[in-house]
Chains A and B, each alone.
Chain A
Amino acid sequence: MKASIPLGMAETTAAAVDELAVRRAKTGDLEALERLYRAYEGTVYGLARRICSTPEEAEEVLQETFLEVCRSIRLFRGSAGGSLTAWIKRVAASKALIRIRYEKYRETEELEEERSWSGHLDGDVGLRMDLETALARLPETTRAVVWLHDVEGYTHEEIAELMDKTVSFSKSQLSRAHARLRTWLGEED
């Protein structure tokens, strides 16, 4: 098992993919595509792992993302660097969200979640978790909104489009998530 790395490292590595490598990747050159994979593997897996519940699901998202990237890179019209990173991250977020949307327990989970936001869940009182545990405890969709908005910097409009939901949905999920995190982190007065 590989160890965790500071968040910014994957970004630094990703910047190492130059214009030439992107041009070669667009021709289907496997060596250039592998270089792209190596540069963005951490970024994509890190994002997927924050949205998906299990490492296995995140690995599947990693694989699906790069299959998509390799198939579609010839259609990519930006330059290497920032816009390439944004495009690959968007593909990854989309794949992760599709994955959680298709899970068969989704409807039940959301229903339970809607009921529980109005107050504390049984056992929440006096609970004090670390942020990692509290984040993992959020439902996948809610966690995805928190991560995409607060960490990745997506707007509510972008999240709504990715999730095929309304802007209000994204905003309410974020508010509810912070209310829940506040309780779980023991930050209440």
Chain B
Amino acid sequence: MLRHCTIAELLKLRDGDGAAAARLHVEGCEPCRSELDRLYQRTAALKALPAHRAPRDRWPVVREALAGERRRVRIARYSWAGLAAAAALVGVIGVRSIPHSAADDQAAQEVATLVDESQQLEAMLHSLDREGRVVNGATAAAIAALEDRIAAVDQGISRAQAVSMPEESMADLWRERVVLMDQLVHTHVRQVAYVGY
């Protein structure tokens, strides 16, 4: 070889798969030999650089995100069962009794509307394909908090049904559920927009 080695050729020699001609050249060429030595030294120096350590413990965020995912699976199962229950509830409201007053009638109508809205939001949430998406820590925490609150409201609705709570109280619970579901869908939609950017 009549010319000096390129860095690419020296890197191949360093990695043990250089051409015989290049190897022969380096053996008899002081500048190329020095360059190869420098490559070895630089590589050794790279390996000797101190490792960085994470400034903060991220396990709590990871654990919370995992817990959120598990809750979501539970909620998904619960929600579809809940849809049937909700539909049945509307039926119950319709046949349980003739409303005693205009206020009762109005509350019963509102519950029916809120149940319908809640179902639409559930369907929207299902259409977002949330499982395969990675969310950042803040979003994961926000989603987990909302899901916890929805689960708590759902428990409240179940208890309210069991004790035949007045329609106005039922309407309050369903109203809260719709607000929380709306926030949950909104949070997921924002995340979709971010990931899709």
Contact = CB atoms under 8 A, between A and B. Distances in A.
- Count chain A CB atoms within 10 A of each CB in B6, B31, B53, B66 and give the residue with the most: B53
Nearest to B56: A59
Contact of A151 (B11, B47, B134): B47
A29 to B, nearest CB: 11
A144 interface: no
B11 A63 contact: no
A4 B53 contact: yes
A4 B66 contact: no
B52 A171 contact: no
A50 B38 CA distance: 22
Interface in A57-97: 58-60, 62-64, 66-68, 70-71
B125 to A, nearest CB: 20
A42 B7 CA distance: 33
Nearest to B63: A30
Contact of A175 (B11, B42, B45, B58): B11
Contacts of A172: 8
Nearest to B195: A102
A68 B66 CA distance: 10
B66 A187 contact: no
A46 B51 contact: yes
Contacts, number: 112
Q: Which of the four size classes fits the interface of chain A?
A: 35 or more
B46 A175 contact: no
Identify whether the interface residues of A are mostly helix, strand, loop, or mixed: helix
A157 B71 CA distance: 40
B50 A7 contact: yes
A66 B45 CA distance: 29
Given A2-B55, A34-B59, A175-B7, A67 B66 contact: yes
B146 interface: no
Contacts of A7: 47-51
A60 B136 contact: yes
A59 B65 contact: no
A146 interface: yes
B46 A135 contact: yes
A9 B39 CA distance: 25
Interface stretch (A16-24, A108-116, A121-129, A177-185): A177-185
A151 B46 contact: yes
A3 B54 CA distance: 9
Interface string B19-47: 00000000000010000001100110111
Interface of B: 6-8, 11, 31, 38-39, 42-43, 45-56, 58-59, 61-63, 65-66, 69, 134, 136-137, 197
Q: Which 5 A-B pairs have the closest CB atoms?
A: A4-B50, A49-B52, A45-B54, A2-B53, A46-B51
